Amino acid sequence: MSQVPAPSAKTPGSSRGLVRRAAVAFTAALGILASTVAPGSASAADNPYQRGPNPTQASIAANRGTFATAETTVGGGNGFGGAKIYYPTDTSQGKFGAIAVVPGYTATWAAEGAWMGHWLASFGFVVIGIDTLSRNDFDVARGTQLLAALDYLTQRSSVRDRVDPNRLAVMGHSMGGGGAISAALRRPSLKTAIGNAPYSASQNLNNMRVPTALLAGQRDGTVTPSLVTGYYNQIPAGTEKMYLELTGAGHGFPTSNNSVATRKWIPWMKIFIDLDTRYQQFLCPLMDNTGISASRSTCPLLPGDPTPGDTFSLAGSASGKCVDVPGGTQTNGTGLILWTCHGATNQRWTQSAAGELRIYDNAKCMDANASGQGAPVTINSCNGGASQKWTVNANGTVTNAASGRCLDTAGTADNSPVVVNTCTGGSGQTWAKRS
């Protein structure tokens, strides 16, 4: 079992994204609708990253997923101390998301993490479990090695053709959990980070932009629940996060197949690595709180949001044209239109941590105004209101926080007005992000 130096006390703060409150009712309604659909109805066409059959409470708690797996060994000399890679053998479903995992202070992968390699891969992930250059490496050094492992996995490994380089994640235990935090702080393009009893001695999570799950053991005297709660509170309100405290668990809970942890890891990974909203039902709210003494999260979890700070154009699936501010004007109240995509600044949107879609170097925000049926979408000075908060969903729809209506158009030709309408899932309401 890994050990860490004695942690210092931290003072928890308190924060919560206001945009979540506006989205809760809409997401709940979606959940009710989803529960009436027959099993097997979820379509991979709606989400090209979806892997595996429709999940059940039993399937996420299973000792194996549905994918056959294999492994390969990696030597040293790649920026980390050596590794094992575990991967699905199926080549018919496209590339898989990947996760790099690092053990805790003084621990080895074989002793602490190897149990999870084939198990995680069987759920449709490529996994690289690493040893560190020194067993005494601290959190930042472990984060550096996690990033090196992901770079090796996607660029030079023998399984690189199986890995989607745009769907990567990190996880660690103890000092390795601090390493996962460090990696996520430095690489905000990661899809998620999971810290299990994480020790983050030299970092502050105030700038975290990667969705983060933090797990603590109720009886952990090394990295106490209050310390992990403090990390959770540091994460900004606009970043997805979850805190779970495992009843009666000590510091070593991630070093063996702990079913309380594993049946929460899988839905979290599926939501954020595979953008698979079929797994929302297990976490929002917790479907099974057996073995959980405390929990907090930013439900509803919104995996399709672009990473805050990303800049992109929105191209309509039906038209192939982009959401455009006509003439490049910056006048408040100017209605948005469809126009042939050209990548100029009047078609470039930036997602803020609060969920706004900003334009012109953050000078203006996309605004649904009154948000009524068929209401024109405009630009306006950013004011933090719900009509200026948007969720870019995994299925390509863009929903407004004030009304739950979808970004839509009145046609497919140049100059067609951009509006909001009741969500139907039609091609006029699906959008592709173009970098």
- Whether residue 394 is predicted with pLDDT greater than 70 in this model: the reply is no
What structural domains and CATH numbers belong to the chain?
Answer: 18-38+48-297 (3.40.50.1820), 311-434 (2.80.10.50)
Tokens of 241: 């996060």
| pLDDT of the residue at 301 | 80
The yes-or-no answer on residue 174 being catalytic is: yes
Q: Are strands 163-173 and 192-196 parallel, antiparallel or unpaired?
A: parallel
| pLDDT of the residue at 156 | 96
Q: How confident is the model at residue 306 (pLDDT cuts 50, 70, 90)?
A: low
pLDDT tens column, 235-254: 987 788 999 999 999 999 99
The yes-or-no answer on residue 173 being catalytic is: no
Q: How many residues does the chain have?
A: 435
- Whether residue 105 is predicted with pLDDT greater than 50 in this model: the reply is yes
Can you list the pairs that 72-79 forms with residues at least 24 positions away whose Cβ atoms lie under 8 Å? 72/157, 72/158, 72/159, 74/128, 74/152, 74/157, 78/148, 78/149, 78/152, 78/156, 79/144, 79/145, 79/148, 79/149, 79/151, 79/152
* Region of residue 424 (phi > 0: left; psi between -120 and 50: alpha; otherwise: beta): alpha
pLDDT tens column, 325-379: 999 999 999 999 999 999 899 999 988 767 789 998 778 999 998 767 889 999 9
- Whether residue 27 is predicted with pLDDT greater than 80 in this model: the reply is no
Residue from 137, 139, 164, 220 carrying the catalytic annotation: 220
- Whether residue 304 is predicted with pLDDT greater than 70 in this model: the reply is no
Residue from 174, 297, 352, 387 carrying the catalytic annotation: 174
| pLDDT of the residue at 40 | 32
Half-sphere exposure of 15 (CA within 13 A, CB side): 18
Residue from 200, 251, 319, 403 carrying the catalytic annotation: 251
Mean pLDDT of 13-18: 34
The yes-or-no answer on residue 274 being catalytic is: no
Q: Which of 106-110, 144-148, 225-229, 339-343 has the lowest mean pLDDT?
A: 339-343
- Whether residue 280 is predicted with pLDDT greater than 80 in this model: the reply is yes
Mean pLDDT of 16-28: 38
When the pLDDT of each residue in the chain is averaged and rounded to a whole number, the result is 86
